[in-house]
Structure 1
Amino acid sequence: MKAASAAGLQDASASLRGQAVPPKLLGLQVLRFAAAFFVVLFHLGVSLQIEFGNRTNVFHNGAVGVDIFFVISGFIIAYTTDPKKGALYFVGRRLVRIVPLYWTLTAGIAVLAMLKPGLLNSTLVNGETLIKSLFFIPFAKASGAVQPILFLGWTLNYEMFFYGIYAACLALGLRSPLVPAAIIVLLVAAVRLVKLDYVPWRFYTNPLMLEFVLGIGLYLLYRRSPAIFHGRSLPIFLMFVASMALRAPLLEIHWLVANGIPAVLLVAAVLPWAPAPTPIVLFMVLLGNVSYPLYLSHPYVLQLAVKLVPDHAGTATQVLLGGAACVLSIALSIVLYFTIERPTQLAASVPKPQR
Structure 2
Amino acid sequence: MKSNYFFRSIHAMRGLASFAVLISHSLTLYPFFEFRAAAAGVDIFFVISGIVMCLAIEEDTSKLDFIKKRIIRVVPLYWIATGLSVAYIYARYPHMSHSWDWIIRSFLFLPQQPGVDMPILYTGWSLNYEMFFYLILFLSLFIFKNAPIAAACIVAMIASFSAVGNLISYNYFFKQIFIEFSLGILIGYFLKFGGRVEKNLGIFLIFLALVIFFIHNKFASSGFLAWGVPSAMLILGAISFENSELFKRNFVKIFGDASYSLYLVHPLVIWGIEWYVLPEHRGILQVAIAIAISIFISIIFYKWVEKPLMRFLSKNL
Q: Alignment partner of 1:84: what SS?
A: coil
Count, aligned residues = 316
- Which of 211, 222, 235 pairs up with 1:242? 211
Deviation at 1:178, TM superposition (A): 1.3
- Which of 241, 246, 251 pairs up with 1:283? 251
- Which of 285, 307, 328 pairs up with 2:293? 328
The answer for unaligned runs of 5 or more in structure 1 is: 1-14
Q: Which amino acid aligns with 2:212?
A: S
Deviation at 1:149, TM superposition (A): 1.4
Q: TM-score, normalised by structure 2?
A: 0.88
Change (3 A) 1:276 1:35: closer
Deviation at 1:87, TM superposition (A): 1.5
2:184 is matched with 215
Alpha-carbon distance between aligned partners in 1 of 2:217 and 2:301, rounded to the nearest angstrom: 36
Matches for 1:1-355 after TM superposition, within 5 Å: 18=3, 22-23=5-6, 25-49=7-31, 57-117=33-93, 125-140=98-113, 144-190=115-161, 192=164, 195-198=167-170, 202-224=171-193, 226-229=195-198, 232-247=201-216, 255-275=223-243, 281-309=249-277, 311-313=279-281, 318-350=283-315
Deviation at 1:135, TM superposition (A): 1.1
Q: Which amino acid aligns with 2:207?
A: L
Regions of 4+ moved over 6 Å: 249-252, 276-280
Deviation at 1:190, TM superposition (A): 4.1
Deviation at 1:47, TM superposition (A): 2.1
Q: Alignment partner of 1:47: what SS?
A: coil
Alpha-carbon distance between aligned partners in 1 of 2:287 and 2:118, rounded to the nearest angstrom: 25
Alpha-carbon distance between aligned partners in 1 of 2:59 and 2:93, rounded to the nearest angstrom: 46
Structure of higher CA gyration radius: 1
* CA deviation string 1:182-228 (max 9, x = no partner): 11122233462872223xxx111211110111111222233346244
Q: Which amino acid aligns with 2:45?
A: F
Change (3 A) 1:276 1:221: closer
Deviation at 1:59, TM superposition (A): 2.3
Q: Give me the CA root mean square deviation.
A: 2.9
Alpha-carbon distance between aligned partners in 2 of 1:342 and 1:321, rounded to the nearest angstrom: 29
Q: Which amino acid aligns with 1:175?
A: N
1:11 is matched with none
Q: Which amino acid aligns with 2:87?
A: V
Contact 1:28 1:271 (C-alpha < 8 Å) held by counterparts: yes
Change (3 A) 1:278 1:228: closer
Contact 1:48 1:306 (C-alpha < 8 Å) held by counterparts: no
* CA deviation string 1:228-282 (max 9, x = no partner): 4455322221111121222258866x62211112111111111133347789613
* CA deviation string 1:94-115 (max 9, x = no partner): 0010011100111121122233
Contact 1:27 1:271 (C-alpha < 8 Å) held by counterparts: yes
Alpha-carbon distance between aligned partners in 2 of 1:116 and 1:193, rounded to the nearest angstrom: 39
Alpha-carbon distance between aligned partners in 2 of 1:249 and 1:320, rounded to the nearest angstrom: 25
